[in-house]
Amino acid sequence: VKRVTTNTLMKMKSTGTKISMITAYDFSFSKLFDKAGVDVLLVGDSASNVMAGHDSTVPITLEQMIYHAQCVVRGAKRSLIVVDLPFGTYQSNGDIALASAIRVMKETGAHSLKLEGGEEIADSIKRIVQAGIPVMGHLGLTPQSIYKFGTYTVRAKENDEAEKLKKDALALQEAGCFGIVLEKIPASLAKEVSESLSIPTIGIGAGRHCDGQVLVMHDMLGINSEFKPRFLRKYAALDEIITAAVGNYINDVKDNSFPNENESY
């Protein structure tokens, strides 16, 4: 199998082929999603929420992200793997950002990184890209800044924030990013940004005009059924399937119908 690369994604943008991306945090799901043919696997710092049970992405550490990334790398043969640099590992300065970036690349075998923010981190992104590491940007609702925003609602509905986002997108492209995630912004703004850039945009809650889409696996598979924002399409109800399956197992254990003779040595 031929690996999807950052060049593949650039070509997909130029031919109008939409890019599919989904999060993964472990070996088994990575293997399934790779087999399904997803273009990009994101080892998201949403692991902090869906794997560790925190209520934000702020607490997850670089070591924990490295562990998740190592597991995902072992499962995928074709998908391009992007790893989030977690909060606190790149915002202070370019030296620290580059050191964090190098650790993830050396210790995981992943192919690229994602950092949240615009102009304020453009110099750090340049340093990382100059070291030979592909970087994806992330604008709009950037969950590492949740305590600045106060809520997880739609960003850049007002003109000043929309103007800043457009400038940030250009700064990220200029800094050498190979793509940008646009999270929870109006579809019209995402369309304008996508058309103004030569690099692909990947939307989540950003409408259909982005060059690709990303969803958190637990949300789209219905593992997390309480989370139902407007932008989410649920492709399965695994919560029901899993609860029913485990319920059946419990009943079989209780009434001594599992294991039967064929299931015994």
The contacts found for 158-165 with CB under 8 angstroms, 24 or more apart, are: 162/186, 162/189, 164/118, 165/118, 165/139, 165/140, 165/189, 165/193
Q: For this structure, is 63 an active site residue?
A: no
Q: Is 210 in the site for ligand KIV (CB under 6 A)?
A: no
Query: What token pair was written down for 207?
Result: 């409408």
Q: Which does 216 bind (CB under 5 to 8 A by kind): Na ion, ligand KIV, none?
A: ligand KIV
Only one of the segments 63-71, 81-89, 100-108, 117-125 lies at the binding site for Na ion (rule: CB under 5 A); that segment is 81-89
Q: Are 220 and 233 in contact (CB under 8 A)?
A: yes
CA proximity to 101, closest of 120, 121, 71: 121
Task: Give which of Na ion, ligand KIV, none residue 214 binds (C-beta under 5 to 8 Å, depending on kind).
Answer: ligand KIV
Q: Does 141 bind ligand KIV (CB under 6 A)?
A: no
Q: How many CA atoms lie within 13 A of 173 on its CB side?
A: 16
Q: Please tell me whether residue 46 binds ligand KIV under the rule CB under 6 A.
A: yes
Which H or E run includes 180?
Answer: strand 179-183
Tell me the sheet residues that pair with 214. Answer: 21
Burial of 115 (0-12, 13-18, 19+ CB in 10 A): buried
Whether residue 20 is annotated as binding a ligand: the answer is no
Catalytic annotation, pick one of 63, 174, 183, 192: 183
Binding residues for Na ion, total number by CB under 5 A = 3
Residue nearest to ligand KIV according to CB distances in the complex: 44
Cβ–Cβ under 8 Å, residues 65 and 86: yes
Check if the beta carbon of residue 218 is closer than 8 Å to that of residue 176.
Answer: no
CB of 8 to Na ion, least distance (A): 22
**133/206 with CB nearer ligand KIV:** 206
Residue 216 found at the interface with ligand KIV (CB under 6 A): yes
Residue 219 as a binder of ligand KIV (CB under 6 A): the answer is no
Q: Which residues lie near ligand KIV (CB under 6 A)?
A: 23, 42, 44-46, 84, 181, 183, 204, 214, 216
- Residue ranges that bind Na ion, judged by CB under 5 A: 44-45, 84
**Catalytic residue list:** 183
Provide the annotated binding site for Mg(2+). 45, 84, 116
